[in-house]
Structure 1
Amino acid sequence: MKPRYHSLLAAALIALPLFSVSATAEPKRGGIINVATVGEPPTLDPMVSTADLVGIVSQHIFETLYTFGKDWAITPLLAEALPDISPDGKVYTIKLRSGIPFHDGGTMTSRDVVASLKRWTENASRGKQTATNIAAIDAVDDLTVKITLKEAYAPLLALLAFNNSAAIILEADNQAVPLAKVVGTGPYALKERKADQYIQLTRFDGYKSRAGEADFYGGARKQYLDEIRFVPVPDPNTRVEGAVAGQFAYIDSLPVESFERLKGGKSTPSVLKSFGWPVFVMNTKEGILSKLEVRQAVQAALDPNDMLLAAFGSKDFYEVDGALYPKGFIWHTEAGTKLYNQANPDKAKALLEKAGYKGEPLVILTSRQYEFHYKMAQVAKAYFEQAGFKVDMQVVDWATLTQRRADPKLWSIYITHSPFLPEPALSSYMSDASPGWWSTPAKHAAIGPFNTAVNAAERVKLFAKVQEAVYAEAPLYKVGNFNALYAQAPNLKGVEPAPWPFFWNASLD
């Protein structure tokens, strides 16, 4: 019952030549790299956060039972192999790799895995999403774990493989929330964290890599680099100038309008095409957007053409598209998209009147660390005001935004983005526990059959019902599709283009 997923286009459609490790010579060992990120991660515990920034850093420290290989196929990481699944799809028996060391000298056993998975089901938004269908998590022996489900649940392995809201494996005695010790099994260990300066990771000499070749996030993870430093650079223009000057080995999330400027600098720019989608997440739990008519007014008011043009400048970097997955993905459907791209402030006004809106502030949380978020917010504010909303736009750093969005009293909309994920159940809106807190009978009626169907073709058909529910109940507003821009130093080799960049198998030439 190995899941079948379509290749994620972001990994395949690269605008410029890729850097790869030579097939004939082993890369040189040693060296330190500085990686410019969009800011300071709010935590290093990827279980309790869905922020991409947290996953980017923490995936070097912690590992999961499974991960994603080439073409986004699920592949074992700390598990010995893909699980043995019972014919009814309810029992997953997972063999663990033996002799896996933790950074502090302990050795992983089923006791650690059971404790970690229980922590995940209690504290991670995607773990809570999964927990409703878990009957038991048991240790069969020291190297075997059994997960028993109440009914078949197709997304389980993808959820166990994902690197944010992640089912990381911690020591059984290190399960506190907040996390007491940043100790995992990954190829790099935390040495020092200086807030707003850097997060310093050093090679874990005891690391036990999988054998064989590298396989995207899976396969062999070789530690050529001595040290990786993640440096928060919140201002996008500073990231651009750092790339031009060759200040960093890798620079993440660059404004696309800087592409021409970057081509003349010391770092090489690259584009990840069909990378992902910007999204306005609505607070369905409290405040004005808890009313469906007000969310529908948001949906009616916005013009994605103007927002995308303001955010990305050139159609080379965006596409106006309301489908939750673009053409080329098995999940693509046009169901419900007649409600996309309305740009109808009069309709929005009428919906606000019907809802009894009395001028309460529409609080928008956004950040300039992702400059395209901020530019979309500015355009959206004008459309909202034209429709009759009173808008309070709050521009904060990304760490503050991720903290505030956890409190439903503090916001109406927060702006974020996501790569196109290989399994829809990985998307935050699928979880009732994710900020936005969309939880309705209509949602559950659509998502329940989708999650329990095990036939791939049937799941594709059922996803159309999920997308219809998203448009009918408006828990979010997809703005469109966009391409992502990053840059790296010419002497940094072995970095695969990926939505969450990773630096095991990377080396300096």
Structure 2
Amino acid sequence: MKRRTFLSLGSAAVAGSAFGARTVFAQTKPAKVLRFVPLADLASIDPIVSTAVATRNHAYLIYEGLYGLDANLAPQPQMAEGHLVDDDGKRLTFKLRSGLVFHNGEPVRAADVVASLKRWMKRVPHGITLADRTESLEAPDDRTVVLRLKQPFPAALWLIAKATPSTMPEYLANTDPSQSIKEAIGSGAFRFAPGEYIPGGRAVYERNDRYQPRQEPASYTAGGRQALVDRIEWRSIPDVSTATSALITGEVDWIDQVLPDVLPLLKTSADVSVDRLDQYGLIGELIFNHLQGPTANPAIRRAILAAVDQTSVMRLTMGDDNLWKAPIGCFTPGTPSANDAAMDVLGTPPKSKAEIQAMLKEAGYNNERLVGLHASDHPFYGPMMQVVAARLTEVGFNVDDVTMDLNTVYQRRLSKEPLDKGGWSMFITAGNGFLDFSDPASPNILRGIGEKGFYGWPTNAKLESLRNRWLASGDLAEQKQIAADMQREALTTGHWAPLGQYFQYSAWRNELKGMNKSPVPLFWGVSKG
């Protein structure tokens, strides 16, 4: 990030060029460059500090973890050769596979892995869960990691495998987890090119020639990660028509998430493939500030849940009924944790204005201002907030719908100040249907750990107790009941408001082969030409 380069993005229609300037690379043979259009630009390079989708996708490109998940969602070794369990299940010993090298040329040591895990365990909910059950985490030699638990905890390996990878050199991993790292150095199949990073414009990744992939076939985040292109360029193109034009004319190769309006056009192109790579979809979330303003009152939050009709939000945002599902509860439809508990408190089917105003009167609402952080540049969060704000205004809330770009939302949501000092009441985001909402342990927003938790900072001891019971249980029927109990507690207290499940299509040039079906865009195994 010491050197900045400028990328000119045009706004041409289909017949024109999407880019005003091209980068020319001096080399003996043409590099295989994959040009990717993410839904949002890369604002943070730190997967521990930021929960942004772009940061998570960036992490999968350059970092690895001890274990990954295969297509059956079972933990499989990645950086590790394997592990041993002894001391009645209280000690896990991992042996690193040979040949692991960081992008700066230094060998990966167990001390680097331990420091990276400890940073994860201080900030990320899954990591905090494991930290609470950990006696010690040590590196007795350069290839051995020893995790000692306070008591047997069968979910430990699953938590490590499901985590967004973040193994980095020890000196970077020692960065305070509340502060962003200054360098992005991992050991994965691709390396980050900091000199070509333009926040809001471009991020570049180059093939890591030192990388030695595992021999097993790739399977979701497990197995061999074969880098089959020389360079990956993330190009931020906020204008939908410009991005669509660039794909059709071959100026970009892959659009991560295609907006519903342009699906028909892309499907008519003989040079483009369109498919749903992520079968789990995304879960829309309306997040409340539990510390400040009217939304600190659970009765007000319950009234908001009752007012918001998920069907209206989804239909006006996504259009085609095949692209969304509503109403939903706290967990992804079709997963073992999905249930119908307390769904009657939601605003689907729509409740009358009189019903909502009666709830507001009982809650003691006196026209206090609600500040909504409205990401107007986001193709899904923006329309969702527009629908939510209009509906809340209609039924009697005093809504200050403050428009800004998504990166400003990311900054504003950090504030715990009162509303008149830059604080907020609500914002909209989305979580991955598999990574974030397939089980009670994963959703950041279902934690009840107050200011140590996700934005909004809810405190709920009952939710925490239920989550711990779910993690300790090995019985599927019991886990399903616990999930229902958690949903009932979350919805009846207005912990957050689910807005529906929506599905994204990806589109890519036909010369790309080996596209991965997964909840996140994975670039290994993808070839061009």
TM-score by length of 2: 0.85
Distance 1:64 1:346, change over 3 A: farther
Separation in structure 2 between the aligned mates of residue 110 and residue 423 of structure 1, nearest angstrom: 30
1:343 equivalent in alignment to 2:316: no
Separation in structure 1 between the aligned mates of residue 89 and residue 217 of structure 2, nearest angstrom: 31
- 1:403 equivalent in structure 2: 411
Alignment of 1:28-47 (within 5 A): 30-47=31-48
Separation in structure 1 between the aligned mates of residue 467 and residue 170 of structure 2, nearest angstrom: 33
Q: Deviations over 1:109-154 (max 9, x none)?
A: 2111111111112233443344333332122433222223334545
Alignment of 1:179-218 (within 5 A): 179-191=181-193, 192-218=196-222
Contact 1:278 1:418 in 2 (8 A): yes
Separation in structure 2 between the aligned mates of residue 235 and residue 90 of structure 1, nearest angstrom: 53
Separation in structure 2 between the aligned mates of residue 358 and residue 126 of structure 1, nearest angstrom: 39
Separation in structure 2 between the aligned mates of residue 88 and residue 363 of structure 1, nearest angstrom: 52
- Computed over aligned residues only, the root mean square deviation of the Cα atoms, in angstroms, reads 2.3
TM-score by length of 1: 0.88
- 2:18 equivalent in structure 1: none
What is the Cα deviation at residue 237 of structure 1? 4.0
Separation in structure 1 between the aligned mates of residue 37 and residue 205 of structure 2, nearest angstrom: 14
Contact 1:151 1:452 in 2 (8 A): no
Separation in structure 1 between the aligned mates of residue 293 and residue 129 of structure 2, nearest angstrom: 24
- 2:4 equivalent in structure 1: none
Distance 1:491 1:505, change over 3 A: same
- 2:96 equivalent in structure 1: 96
Contact 1:296 1:348 in 2 (8 A): no
Q: Which runs of 5+ in 2 are unaligned?
A: 1-28, 418-422
- 2:244 equivalent in structure 1: 240
Q: Deviations over 1:347-382 (max 9, x none)?
A: 332232233223222222232444222222222112
Q: Deviations over 1:57-78 (max 9, x none)?
A: 2211111112221122222211
- 1:14 equivalent in structure 2: none
- 1:16 equivalent in structure 2: none
Q: Deviations over 1:376-401 (max 9, x none)?
A: 22221121012211112233322222
- 2:309 equivalent in structure 1: 303
- 1:476 equivalent in structure 2: 496
1:269 equivalent in alignment to 2:274: yes
Q: Aligned letter for 2:360?
A: L
The secondary structure found in structure 1 opposite 2:99 is coil
The secondary structure found in structure 1 opposite 2:210 is coil
1:285 equivalent in alignment to 2:283: no
The secondary structure found in structure 2 opposite 1:251 is strand
What is the Cα deviation at residue 302 of structure 1? 0.9
The secondary structure found in structure 1 opposite 2:468 is helix
What is the Cα deviation at residue 480 of structure 1? 1.7
Separation in structure 2 between the aligned mates of residue 396 and residue 88 of structure 1, nearest angstrom: 54
Separation in structure 1 between the aligned mates of residue 244 and residue 404 of structure 2, nearest angstrom: 20
Separation in structure 1 between the aligned mates of residue 226 and residue 406 of structure 2, nearest angstrom: 31
- 1:22 equivalent in structure 2: none
What is the Cα deviation at residue 493 of structure 1? 0.9
1:294 equivalent in alignment to 2:300: yes
Contact 2:311 2:327 in 1 (8 A): no
Contact 2:446 2:495 in 1 (8 A): no
- 1:77 equivalent in structure 2: 78
Q: Aligned letter for 1:219?
A: G
- 1:173 equivalent in structure 2: 171
Moved more, 102-111 or 368-377: 368-377
Distance 1:133 1:474, change over 3 A: farther
Contact 2:207 2:227 in 1 (8 A): yes
Moved more, 65-74 or 352-361: 352-361
Separation in structure 1 between the aligned mates of residue 386 and residue 416 of structure 2, nearest angstrom: 22
Separation in structure 2 between the aligned mates of residue 273 and residue 63 of structure 1, nearest angstrom: 23
- 2:523 equivalent in structure 1: 503
Match of 1:442 among 462, 482, 489: 462
Contact 1:34 1:230 in 2 (8 A): yes
The secondary structure found in structure 1 opposite 2:72 is helix
Separation in structure 2 between the aligned mates of residue 291 and residue 150 of structure 1, nearest angstrom: 37
Separation in structure 2 between the aligned mates of residue 461 and residue 304 of structure 1, nearest angstrom: 24
Contact 1:302 1:342 in 2 (8 A): no
Contact 1:280 1:476 in 2 (8 A): yes
Distance 1:114 1:477, change over 3 A: same
Separation in structure 1 between the aligned mates of residue 493 and residue 88 of structure 2, nearest angstrom: 33
Contact 1:152 1:454 in 2 (8 A): no
Separation in structure 2 between the aligned mates of residue 147 and residue 29 of structure 1, nearest angstrom: 46
Q: Which runs of 5+ in 1 are unaligned?
A: 1-27
The secondary structure found in structure 2 opposite 1:280 is strand
Distance 1:230 1:158, change over 3 A: farther
Runs ≥4 residues deviating over 6 A:
none
Moved more, 390-399 or 106-115: 390-399
Contact 1:111 1:139 in 2 (8 A): yes
1:429 equivalent in alignment to 2:433: no
- 1:7 equivalent in structure 2: none
The secondary structure found in structure 2 opposite 1:504 is coil
Q: Deviations over 1:77-122 (max 9, x none)?
A: 11222x4345755433222222310111111121111111111122
Separation in structure 1 between the aligned mates of residue 408 and residue 111 of structure 2, nearest angstrom: 35
Contact 2:385 2:427 in 1 (8 A): no
- 1:382 equivalent in structure 2: 390
Q: Aligned letter for 2:148?
A: T
Contact 1:34 1:228 in 2 (8 A): yes
Q: Aligned letter for 1:469?
A: E
Separation in structure 2 between the aligned mates of residue 94 and residue 457 of structure 1, nearest angstrom: 32
Separation in structure 1 between the aligned mates of residue 96 and residue 166 of structure 2, nearest angstrom: 14
The secondary structure found in structure 2 opposite 1:418 is strand
Q: Deviations over 1:144-176 (max 9, x none)?
A: 22223334545433432345xx35111112222
Q: Deviations over 1:243-272 (max 9, x none)?
A: 333331110122123211211234322124
Contact 1:236 1:369 in 2 (8 A): no
Distance 1:357 1:235, change over 3 A: farther
